[in-house]
Amino acid sequence: MAVKFDIQNLNAWFGSMHVLKNINMKIEENAVTAIIGPSGSGKTTFLRCLNRMHEITPGARVSGKVLFNGINIYDDGVDPVMIRRKIGMVFQKPNPFPMMSIYDNVAVGLKLNGIRDKKILDAAVRRSLELANLWDEVKGALNKSGASLSGGQQQRLCIARALAVEPEVLLMDEPTSALDPIAAAKIEALIRKLAKNYTVVIVTHNMQQAARVSDYTAFFYLGELIEYGPTKQIFENPKHELTKRYITGEFG
Amino acid sequence: MDHYKFRVVKNHLVQFLVYLALFLALVPLFSILYEVVVRGFSTISIEFFIKPTPTVGEVGGGVANAIQGTLITIGLASLIGVPIGLMSGIFLSEYGESKLSVVVRFLHDVLMGIPSIVIGVFAYALITLSIGFSVIAAAFALSVIMIPIVTRTTEEALKLVPMSIREAAIALGIPRWKATVTVVFSGAKKAIVTGLLLSIARIAGESAPVLVTMGFWRWWFAGFDRPVANLALDIFIFAMSPFKNWLTLAWGSALVLILLVLGISVAARVLTKGRY
Ligand SMILES: Nc1ncnc2c1ncn2[C@@H]1O[C@H](COP(=O)(O)OP(=O)(O)O)[C@@H](O)[C@H]1O
Ligand SMILES: [Mg+2]
């Protein structure tokens, strides 16, 4: 397997609160890895450590290594801005830029990175919206506000926005938790499609979702990685007692 | 039942008092506007807009030089005050709480409370004493009045932009400062522009610091190290004078000043009118 992330002894803190404890795991390239676990177990924090978003919270701190394509993203001299460009993120609540059109929401990442050529921007907007399965729904309304879309469309717009800067990885933090089941199903189908060319790491509260979309599943509990393996094995034959209890819905 | 009736009566009474207060607040506003418009309007002619201040005894004349001078003064003051105010607003909102930010915020509060004449005297001591009565000195004084207003409104406007918008921008691989001046600013644009307008309207109406730093000037712009005419100060000087022609010009100037402030505010509204 091609390793996209090799995480070694990763620890994270908020002030003096130790929220991730010595995480070691490898994440496979062009596959979907699901992070499951009860609320407060550090799933969001873990995801934000993979693209250096954790450190923008005042008082937040990280130790250990995250090798991305073999390079430690926490090495001195690594620019977090470049890391975030390669490792895109989709948030729990759809957050399109409210004052911008659909077009600008997708184009803004490129524009702010200095791309001015209208042809290139048009092509990138179309390609990203097509990738996000949104093009057909919005192609006649690219100048409308991103906020005018439905929740599910907004979330796909956010995915298109992340894809526009051509990342290699998409980190998704409970991307369907604010959506209805039909909108959620569309996003799940999209995730499967994207996994052909992107590495996807998805945090989810929904065990069926993890089982449906992911190739690998990691179970986090109280800041520790309890069990990690192929999704089928985790759900059908968990090795750890805690994992078994969590996936059978005994707590959560 | 009695309780209910009592409540209904109380409700009506409070409602009446609220409307009464509203009415009392609006009476002076409309009577000022009415007076200025009626009296000012009769003085207005083409000549009024193209001629400078008349000398004593001269008939006619206008306030063209004061319009020019006021625009130059406001423009210069904004050139100094707006960038500094915006930057410190960004600093206070975007760079977290620190000892420095507490001090900066406190200083702005103090600055906002200082009477404008004191700021005028400060600018007099700092600039007028060395280069003489000049538009530079006046613009400096007015910029000091602007800065805390711009800072505070910018800070408040930026703080209203949800954190999730900043995070979305940063996660796109946009450097933090760029995210602030583009994505975050676009979300706060209207409120920030409103703050700028308030500060411009405020300094357009200041006369005391202008008097101290630049003085009364009857001519056109003659260099940045010389004074320029100023509408607010003209109103004061004209109104205090015993000359009939100047007294009418005072009303005309007042009307122009009000229209100028109104115009700036309408223009900015139109310019920042988002499509959404
Ligand atoms: N901004 C923050 N400041 C302080 N503590 C936080 C912050 N965000 C999360 N935490 C704490 O860190 C722990 C892990 O949170 P999180 O990673 O959000 O868990 P999950 O996503 O699994 O629900 C929780 O105890 C939470 O209270
Ligand atoms: Mg979470």
* Distance (Å, whole) CA B64 – CA B49: 5
Per-residue pLDDT tens over the stretch B142-151: 999 999 999 9
Instruction: Answer yes or no: do B187 and A99 touch at CB < 8 A.
Output: yes
Bridge partners of residue A6, in order along the sequence: A26, A67
* Distance (Å, whole) CA A56 – CA B175: 12
Q: Among residues B203, B241, B266, B238, which one has the least CA distance to residue B48?
A: B238
What pLDDT, on the 0 to 100 scale, is given for residue B268? 72
Determine what percent of chain A is predicted with pLDDT higher than 70.
Answer: 99
Determine what percent of chain B is predicted with pLDDT higher than 70.
Answer: 97
Per-residue pLDDT tens over the stretch B231-243: 999 999 999 998 8
Q: What does each C-alpha distance from B84 to B148, B149, B157 come to in angstroms?
A: 9, 11, 16
* Distance (Å, whole) CA B21 – CA B36: 24
- Judged by average pLDDT, the poorest of A213-222, B122-131, B229-238, B241-250 is B241-250
Please name the amino acid found at residue A221. Answer: Y
> Which of the four pLDDT bands, split at 50, 70 and 90, describes residue B275?
very low
Position B137 pLDDT exceeds 70 = yes
What pLDDT, on the 0 to 100 scale, is given for residue A105? 96
Given A84, A89, A99, which is nearest B276 (Cβ)? A99
Mean pLDDT of B137-143: 97
A48 lines ligand 1 (CB under 6 A): no
Position B168 pLDDT exceeds 70 = yes
Domain boundaries, chain A: 3-247
Position B87 pLDDT exceeds 70 = yes
Give B242's DSSP letter.
S
Position A217 pLDDT exceeds 90 = yes
Mean pLDDT of A146-162: 95
> Which of the four pLDDT bands, split at 50, 70 and 90, describes residue B51?
confident
The answer, for B96 touching chain A at a CB cutoff of 8 Å, is yes
> Which of the four pLDDT bands, split at 50, 70 and 90, describes residue A113?
confident
Q: A132 φ, ψ to 5°?
A: -85, 10
For residue A13, the CA-to-ligand 2 centroid distance in Å is: 15
Do the strands A17-28 and A3-14 form a parallel or antiparallel pair, or are they unpaired?
antiparallel
What's the mean pLDDT when you consider all of chain B? 90
Given B170, B175, B179, which is nearest A53 (Cβ)? B170
> Which of the four pLDDT bands, split at 50, 70 and 90, describes residue B274?
low
Classify domain A3-247 by CATH number: 3.40.50.300
DSSP A42-70: SHHHHHHHTTT-GGGSTTEEEEEEEEETT
* Distance (Å, whole) CA B213 – CA B125: 9
Q: A230 φ, ψ to 5°?
A: -60, 140
Position B36 pLDDT exceeds 70 = yes
A40 lines ligand 1 (CB under 6 A): yes
A42 lines ligand 1 (CB under 6 A): yes
What pLDDT, on the 0 to 100 scale, is given for residue B54? 85
Sheet holding A169-173, edge to edge: A87-90, A169-173, A199-203, A32-36, A216-221, A224-230
What pLDDT, on the 0 to 100 scale, is given for residue B154? 94
- Higher-scoring residue by pLDDT: B45, A76: A76
Determine what percent of chain B is predicted with pLDDT higher than 90.
Answer: 61
- Our CA-based measurement puts residue A241 at a distance from the nearest CA of chain B, in whole angstroms, of 36
What's the mean pLDDT when you consider all of chain A? 95
* Distance (Å, whole) CA B135 – CA B2: 69
What pLDDT, on the 0 to 100 scale, is given for residue A167? 96
* Distance (Å, whole) CA A226 – CA A162: 30
